[in-house]
Amino acid sequence: MRFLIRVPIMFFRLLYQSVYLALSQIWANKTRSMLTTLGIIIGVASVTAVIAALSGLKAKILTQVESLGTNTIFISARRPDRGPLQHASWWSIRFQPEQFENLLEHCPSVARFGRQTWVGRYTVSHRDKSSENVTVRGVEPACHQIDSRPVTIGRPLSVIDEMQVRQVCLIDPKLRNDLHLDRDCIGQSVLVGYDTFYIVGVVEPRPENIFGGGDQERSEIFIPFKVGLKMQRYPSIWALAESRSADVSDDALAEIRFFLRRTRHIKPGEPDTFEVQSLQNELQTFNEITVIVTLVAGGIVGISLLVGGVGIMNIMLVSVSERTREIGLRKAVGAKNSAILTQFMIESIVLCCMGGLVGIVFGQLLITAIDNIVKAAFHVTVLDMAYIPAWAIALSFAFAGSVGIFFGMFPAIKAARLDPIEALRHE
Amino acid sequence: MAKQAGKVIIKLQAVKRIYKVGVEHIHALDGIDLKLHENEYIAVMGHSGSGKSTLMNVLGCLDRATSGYYELDGYDTTKMSDAALAHVRNERIGFVFQSFELLGQLTALKNVEMPLIYSRDGWVSRKNRAKKALQRVGLSDRVKHKPNQLSGGEKQRVAIARALVCNPSILLADEPTGNLDSKTSEDILKLFDQLHSEGQTIIMVTHEDDVAHHAKRIISMKDGLINSDQSTKEYNGSRHVTGKKSKEAPS
């Protein structure tokens, strides 16, 4: 029982004393310690900066994906890479509106589905005011929910608008301002090209997007899908779908693919003439890239830590030979070999961990600096969500600590093995 | 031999210490028999190379005898492990060195505390014990001073306080006045006298007759053997008779 109490107390005592000694030793040789740990500092700073940047990027992309809906699926026509259709004209590859009919019945994992068509860029005018290059899109009602573009004033496009092919539209706030319309502009008419449309609602602007979709400069106008089809000779069509949950996202992709192969009469063995993609897939790809970048950065940092470690070993050897007399004295007054060993090991570990700490601080500074430079140069905020995750801090410390253990071992053993008589005689 | 009552603290029997240098064997100690009692004050004298330093190292458990038997405080040290010897050095032996061996970056108090750091029981109360030890050597007012703020005599007093802080059975002093002027030497030797009167067992290595005369018993060594082992009075008497011979003694 006494033994059980004594061992932890002795351990704590040894640790406290060694850490205290190590810190005073490092403090006594400030410049030298700083220069020695530079390798560790640079290594840890770069790895934390890279990890912080990646986590920030990931967090940013995730929030944007969430704003788009993680279950969103994009369906678009695409020329295949192989097979007889690889040189086919765009005209023959494009979707026909009827190819999507009854999709919901055949795809049980799909919750919502809506077709869209890109009508083009038009000049939109109201009385004497006009706005050029307005993106006009024909959308089915479900697209609003999938695309997370809620209507702030008025009502969204409805199935009745669609069925009756009504000349109604939704506009975004920018267009409303450009045309000097009232805040509540429901019921007023605008001229799109040569067609008159009645405004039924105002949609939220598209959130800023780092994928490049965030086109804040242009304003948008949404009209019913069928109206959009009518306005074009060869309409280009794509579709948005939403799976019932993230878990069945892959099922939904497979069902849509199977369904479209049938409606587009693609024979078995022939490649798809379309693409079905989910954000889940994209995220996975991004995650893979993140892992690769982290590993590569980790490798580079490993080398830098190795170099730093050699520096630590070098300085510890100097420290041991400088303090040979001290070691001799400590042994003479009763320090066991293990106590000397611990003293030098702890000194090396403390040195490395302090390097790690400074490195983490520098890493954070580096990230802030890069963020500010990017902001100033490109006017986009990419790294504002960058942070150093707890596991990265733990990893940095663990790594720095192991460098301390590994490279402090040899000098510490050398110190512990010194013969006290020889050591006391040392000049 | 001096008539001494009290417990036997040190018992050496046929202790040899042989160094191997190449194929040559150097007998630094060539069979020493010695018995020391509690509260003795001994001076070990001899030329350089006579083996007195080796004897100190063996007595101080810094070195092991090649053969023979060494008993300290009733414990056989010849079969102890390195760690156990470190423990013995910590608890039973206090060292005082010619060049003080204080750690420059530590205050006097911290220097005196140092042996207690390595002690099992002394750790908790180390500050008070260190203060008491400094008081004992008359340095209560120099507690916070660093070695470079102290005079030579004060430094040696701090070193003596450090040696005493664990209440050792023996105080081993290796030329304790070698780096001091005659006035300060006298002060330090007075301190030794005082410690002896308080019951401390002291072994001192010196080659100066004046210093050795403070001890109550003088052992002179030659070629790894004890040449003579006399009380100080006897030693003085023998020196008058064979005055010429011992004139060579100081090296």
pLDDT digits 0-9 by tens, A234-250: 888 888 888 888 788 88
Distance CA B156, CA B172 (A): 13
ipTM of the complex: 0.89
- List the single residue in B57, B63, B114 with the smallest CB-CB distance to A333: B114
Distance CA A37, CA A351 (A): 7
**CB B34 within 8 Å of CB B226:** yes
Identify the CA nearest to B204 among candidates B44, B9, B49, B13.
B44
Q: How many residue pairs from chains A and B have C-beta atoms closer than 8 A? A: 53
B62 close to A (CB below 8 A): yes
C-alpha to C-alpha distances, B205 to A84, B46, B208, B235, nearest whole angstrom = 105, 9, 9, 16
Q: Where are the domains of chain B?
A: 39-58+81-246
**DSSP 8-class letter at A343:** H
A10, A333, A343: best to mutate for the B interface, most B CBs within 10 A: A333
**Strand A72-77 and strand B67-72: pairing?**
unpaired
Looking at residues A142-163, what average pLDDT do you find? 85
CB atoms within 10 A of CB A90: 10
Q: Is the pLDDT of residue A281 over 80?
A: no
Q: Where are the domains of chain A?
A: 14-65+284-425, 79-272
Q: Mark yes or no for CB contact B115/A339 under 8 Å.
A: no
Distance CA A182, CA A164 (A): 27
Looking at residues A160-167, what average pLDDT do you find? 90
Residue numbers of B between 198 and 227 with CB closer than 8 Å to A: none
pLDDT digits 0-9 by tens, B1-43: 444 457 889 999 999 999 888 889 988 999 999 999 999 999 9
Tell if the pTM clears 0.90, that is, is over it: no
pLDDT of residue B247: 46
User: Domain B39-58+81-246 classified CATH 3.40.50.300?
Assistant: yes
C-alpha to C-alpha distances, B220 to A348, B50, B230, B232, nearest whole angstrom = 47, 9, 9, 11
Phi first, then psi, for residue B22 (nearest 5°) are 65, -125
User: Within 13 A of B213's CA, how many CA atoms are on the CB side?
Assistant: 9
CA–CA min distance B176, chain A (Å) = 15
- Give, for A54, the enclosing helix (H) or strand (E): helix A30-68
pLDDT of residue B2: 46
pLDDT digits 0-9 by tens, A357-374: 999 999 889 888 888 888
pLDDT digits 0-9 by tens, A63-99: 777 766 678 888 888 888 877 777 778 778 888 888 8
